[in-house]
Amino acid sequence: MDIKAVYFVGIGGIGMSAIARYFLHQGIVVGGYDRTPSDLTRRLEEEGAQVHYEENTDLIPLACKDKDSTLVIYTPAIPAEHKELQFFRQGSFEIQKRAQVLGTLTRAHKGLCVAGTHGKTTTSSMAAHLLHQSPVDCNAFLGGITKNYGTNYILSSQSDYVVIEADEFDRSFHWLSPYATVITATDADHLDIYGTEEAYLESFSHYTSLIVEGGYLLLHTGLKMQPRTGKEVTTFTYSRDKGDFHAENVRIGGGEITFDYISPLGNIKDIRLGVPVAVNIENGIAAMALAQIAGVQPDDIRKAMASFSGVDRRFDFKVKRDDMVYLSDYAHHPEEIRQSILSIKQLYQGRRIKAIFQPHLYTRTRDFYREFADALSQLDDVAIVDIYPAREKPIPGVTSALIYDNLTSRHREMIAKNEILDVVRRGGFDVLITLGAGDIEDYSEQIAQLLEEGTHNQKG
């Protein structure tokens, strides 16, 4: 097929927009639909994409209506009855899921893929930065906006490597053919798709069978899943269980984290984290392992690790003063929340820490409300916001109260979204973190402004 135009149904998604940018760079006509405008869609329009926000086939660009030269890409979040998707299906267009396109890219390049329940976006962004800041370079399709580049896409005209976030939702990662892959975690998730933890773990086992001949598999120690591959399996960890790749001589203090990276491919002393939170030690170990596999040299790794600035909404410092800290974090799974809170408590020992959490999805709340409550109860002060439904319809009896009722925190409250700023004004904390993958992020700028202006009660 001679592709002259690509149309995206759901172009504003973080993963979809990265692929849209890829085709824009190829000089191909890009059009797309999304439900609402966003910073991402506005930037895509500035870069040349033709985007509209009404489910209307008349608004599809003319260049995207030639079925012999148009590729249609859609995300699983788009319902089957979507009018535009039906238009393309009835017209016998070439239609592919986002993951199919990424799979094609892993067969055209050497795919360095990062899979796992959590840690994918930060680890893949770190790996992409390590490669891009070295002569090896890479293309990259990421699940977040990197602070170093202000984008979720990195283009290289000469590198043989592509860094991809391997998403297990809807079994999307089964389309990939990784050259090397990391699996960071396999804590059960997406049970609305998989049904059981066993089926979820099986999907990761199948994923390991897709690694190409001569490829690499790197697993976090202690995972429940069983790899299904003839490849040599290597392991990584922070330092507790001494994986093949791990950290030693970890130094945390003065707002910095430094450690020695121990690797069968060559040790590197004095790695300093650009984003100094404990969870990034493991993320960094996995990213450095991928970089070493791709041939990045030790000095380039050390410099790039120190200059990595992080990813929007991933342990994202919005206010960082001696007397007040505010972070926004995308964590929306109990284990992610547990790790975020552990990192915060380690960084800010003795400080008054408050979390505001917005649960993401009715099904995830139903399946894990006890685990959410247990993770959040590590803090003395927690506010729970109404559930962000995303693609789901309400489930009778499933509300944020399920989590709230199981909290053991000394101070706990249930609030509506429009009460978030009032909670911030009321104060009583000097470290605040907002948690969740929904639209709680829309409040982050206003929260930061309140805290910077001091229009909150520090005493509480």
pLDDT digits (tens, 9 = 90+) for 349-373: 888 999 999 999 999 899 999 999 9
Binned at pLDDT 50, 70 and 90, residue 39 comes out as: confident
pLDDT digits (tens, 9 = 90+) for 138-176: 999 988 889 999 888 898 878 999 999 998 888 889 999
Binned at pLDDT 50, 70 and 90, residue 204 comes out as: very high
pLDDT digits (tens, 9 = 90+) for 370-396: 999 999 999 999 999 999 998 788 999
Domain ranges of the chain: 5-97, 109-307, 316-453
According to DSSP, residue 412 is labeled E
Binned at pLDDT 50, 70 and 90, residue 457 comes out as: low
In this structure, whether the domain defined by 5-97 belongs to CATH 3.40.50.2300 is answered with no
Binned at pLDDT 50, 70 and 90, residue 87 comes out as: very high
Sheet bearing 180-183, strands edge to edge: 151-154, 139-146, 161-166, 110-115, 180-183, 216-220, 233-236
pLDDT digits (tens, 9 = 90+) for 215-231: 999 999 988 888 887 76
Q: How far apart are CA 352 and CA 404, in angstroms?
A: 20
Q: What average pLDDT does the segment 280-288 reach? A: 95
254: tokens are 């003065």
DSSP H helices in 68-217: 83-90, 98-108, 120-132, 191-194, 197-208
Q: Between 3.40.50.1820, 3.60.70.12, 3.40.50.300, 3.40.1190.10, what CATH number should domain 109-307 receive?
A: 3.40.1190.10
CA dihedral 173, 178, 184, 185 (to 10 degrees): 40
Do the beta carbons of residue 324 and residue 457 sit within 8 Å? no
pLDDT digits (tens, 9 = 90+) for 227-274: 887 767 888 888 667 899 999 999 987 678 999 999 999 999 999 999
In the predicted structure, residue 38 carries a pLDDT above the cut 90: no
User: What is the CATH number that goes with domain 316-453?
Assistant: 3.90.190.20
pLDDT digits (tens, 9 = 90+) for 387-442: 999 878 899 999 999 999 999 999 999 999 999 999 999 989 999 999 998 889 88
Tell me the pTM. 0.77
